[in-house]
Amino acid sequence: MKSDASIVHITADSRSKANCSQCSLNSLCLPLGLNQSEIEKLDGLVNSDIKLKPNETVFEQGQKFTKLFAIRSGVFKSAQIDSEGNEKILGFYLPGELVGLDAIHEETYKTNVTALDTASVCSIPFDNLTNLTASIPSLQLQLLRMLSKEINDVHTQILNFGIEQRLAAFIYTLSLRYQERGYSGTHINLAMPRLDIANHLNMAPETISRLFKRMQADGLININRRELIITDMQKLKDLAGCIPGQE
């Protein structure tokens, strides 16, 4: 809505340690690795602070693609509706992550991206962004990296066979992502209902319940409704099995 001074994730002088204060370090952040003047250029084309209420969409499947969106606060789900009207949840997005990358290919948003709670995003016009990347090599590289990471992430989802492994991997990667962003990696408030988790992992919500129960009995986690506490990260990781990028 407005373009005030400090945008995407960066206030210039707090960059010192990590390059990207807002989404605190990590390789997911677009402005990572840029210098001050480059960041200002990037800021110039970002429209920050679009507020969303629970259940509002950032964009919808089939709309023409013009902008990427960076999540500032809140949690989002990304879902596709098939020919029979069934919703399939492809993933969840946390603050600092970029949505809309899968829309570049055909210039059409491929999913509905919906806020799970009150949230805010900033928009980045794609044309302007690609103009800018042409003159800032490290920005181009970072954008490519983020697309590449998205491929990796989806691959990771595919890797897990058993239901327990799938759920464990889901929780574990969620924990990692929160940690990377400076939140607690052990005390997590699940933003999404069981039904959404079940949908995303291709399981019945009842199964989720039973698995949570078992994992709690095994001392891995402590869960009460949406409040999740990871009590044994190592065991959880082992159970999750194949997580990429580690070791």
Binding site for its own copies (CB under 8 A): 7-8, 27, 80, 82-84, 88, 90, 101-107, 110, 130-131, 133-135, 137, 140-141, 143-152, 154-155, 157-159, 161, 202, 241-242, 244-245
List the 227-230 sheet strands across, edge first.
Answer: 187-189, 227-230, 221-224
Residues 141-170 binding DNA (CB under 7 A) are 162-164
Q: Rule CB under 7 A: say whether 227 interacts with DNA.
A: no
Q: Rule CB under 7 A: say whether 189 interacts with DNA.
A: no
Q: Which does 193 bind (CB under 5 to 8 A by kind): DNA, its own copies, none?
A: DNA
Contact in structure between 51 and 120 (CB atoms under 8 Å)? yes
Nearer to DNA, 205 or 241 (CB): 205
Q: Which of 26, 7, 243, 40 is nearest to 142 (CA)?
A: 26
Candidate ranges 88-96, 123-131, 174-182, 203-211; the one touching DNA (CB under 7 A): 203-211
DSSP characters for 194-208?
HHHHHHHHTS-HHHH
Candidate ranges 25-33, 57-65, 174-182, 201-209; the one touching DNA (CB under 7 A): 201-209
Contact in structure between 100 and 146 (CB atoms under 8 Å)? no
Residues 6+ positions from 73 with CB-CB distance below 8 Å: 95, 119, 120
Query: In the complex, which residues of this chain contact DNA (CB under 7 A)?
Result: 162-164, 193-195, 202-210, 212-213, 223-226
